[in-house]
Amino acid sequence: MKIAIGADHAGFILKERLRQTLAQEGYAVCDLGTGSAVSCDYPDYAAAVAREVVSGRADRGILICRTGAGMCIAANKIAGIRAAQGTTPEEVRLVRDHNDANVLTLGAGFTTAEEAAALVDVFLTTAFSNNVRHIRRIAKIAALERAPEDIKA
């Protein structure tokens, strides 16, 4: 499995730890930056990782900023991305199982390296359920990306 990973300056140190852990576990890791703790703009890295996932060049994406929220918002602007912020293993399991999340965002200011590694492990090892109701809901999300005014409740 190929993983695209990116972070802004606030997530740089955690990204480096996760990148090393993932490589040691045998994952192919595509590091899309940032390369230091110098201040930078998180949407640039969110877009780069999201585009790798949507293109199929990466199977999943991981994004890290101080809270995880900015990366999540920015990544979800790319059609085909279902980014979710992870804070607990059960939450991450559910966003994979129910929502087929393809990008996980983490908050470096609120998540230790050990917690982040556990969340990433759940994200990468949990399969989508392929449940009919979840497939229907994901299709509605995709339709929102194409024509938001056409969706009926």
| Beta-bridge partner residues of 4 | 30, 61
Q: Which of 114, 113, 91 is nearest to 104 (CA)?
A: 91
Q: Which of 30, 40, 98, 134 is catalytic?
A: 98
- In a 3-state reduction of DSSP, which class is residue 31? strand
- Helix (H) and strand (E) counts in the chain: 6, 5
Give yes or no: 9 in active site: no
DSSP 41: -
On whether the CB atoms of residues 71 and 46 are closer than 8 A, the answer is yes
C-alpha 100, offset from chain centre: 11
Give yes or no: 72 in active site: no
Which bin fits 80, alpha (ψ -120 to 50), beta or left (φ > 0)? Answer: left
Q: Which of 40, 65, 72, 134 is catalytic?
A: 65
On whether the CB atoms of residues 82 and 102 are closer than 8 A, the answer is yes
Residues known to be catalytic: 65, 98
